[in-house]
A = this chain, B = another copy of it.
Amino acid sequence: MKRIAFIGLGVMGMPMCCNLIKAGYPMAVYARRPETLKKVVAEGAEAKSSSAEASKNADVIITMLPDSPEVEAVVLGPSGVLEGARPGSILIDMSSIAPSASKRIAARLGECGVRMLEAPVSGGQPGAIAGTLSIMVGGDQADFEECEEILKVMGKSVVRVGGIGAGNTVKLCNQIIVALNIAAVGEAFSLGTKAGVDPAVIFSAIRGGLAGSNAMDAKIPLVLERDFDPGFRIDLHIKDLANALQTGRDLTVPLPFTSLIMQVLQALKVESKGDLDHGAIMTFFEELAEVTISK
């Protein structure tokens, strides 16, 4: 069985790591916080003193970090993965980062004979706990096949979508659509509600038709209950859309709607809503119209 190193034991990484331990994989870990290390050691992992040390005897090194700078620091920085990883090992970066950063890191690793897959996920903490994430993998087909069994411990849907960069690109497409579909619902329901129609009735009247979406089905019941507990935080959605806009600049792809929803998210952050679920995008439109989409 492949020996795994796991770095990035946050709300997502911790349950993903624990699922791999339960599946029987020998696990080395590194974390800055002693209490995090303690917790995962209790599950059966071996604590190491740095990312380099954790990577030393690993066949597969998994990172699950907030954004591109953190991945670059942990992988390429001092006492990082690259200092410890042996040639022939594979880094699976499961963070959601800029595709350009992903390609840059893969190129640097390649110079040292370390392979890389990117495997951003969707499905949130519940999916991480249940091992039912959707995983969008970018990288070589052979490397993907070598790691598929490991990825399937963490995900229900594990799809290779192309070469390195493609995984994070697909994740960005996903995040653009999710943000805009929530905005569409927020704007439309603010109009309908202010016109005097019961929003629950609007929901039941249109959800089965062409306007129906998984975002509407997920978020309208929550907004009706005024439940904005994350879920997926607005701050994280800002991070993803910043990467989308950067990618648009890199490739000269104008993104007028993404650009506009990014401003909406910034406005919500100004209102200290960065820690709320992204369903709270709808509150931007409620405030514009001075109306509340509730039961």
Contact = CB atoms under 8 A, between A and B. Distances in A.
B194 A173 contact: no
Contacts of A255: 187, 191
Given A255-B191, A258-B187, A291-B253, A173 B244 contact: no
A251 B291 CA distance: 11
Interface stretch (A39-47, A53-61, A200-208): A200-208
A248 interface: yes
Nearest to A284: B256
A11 interface: no
Given A178-B211, A202-B173, A209-B123, A257 B260 contact: yes
Given A134-B208, A190-B253, A183 B180 contact: yes
9 contacts: A159-B204, A162-B198, A169-B195, A170-B201, A172-B191, A180-B257, A181-B184, A210-B215, A256-B260
Interface of A: 99, 122-123, 134, 136, 157, 159, 161-163, 165-166, 169-170, 172-178, 180-181, 183-185, 187-192, 194-198, 201-202, 204-206, 208-216, 218, 244, 247-248, 251-258, 260-261, 285, 288-289, 291
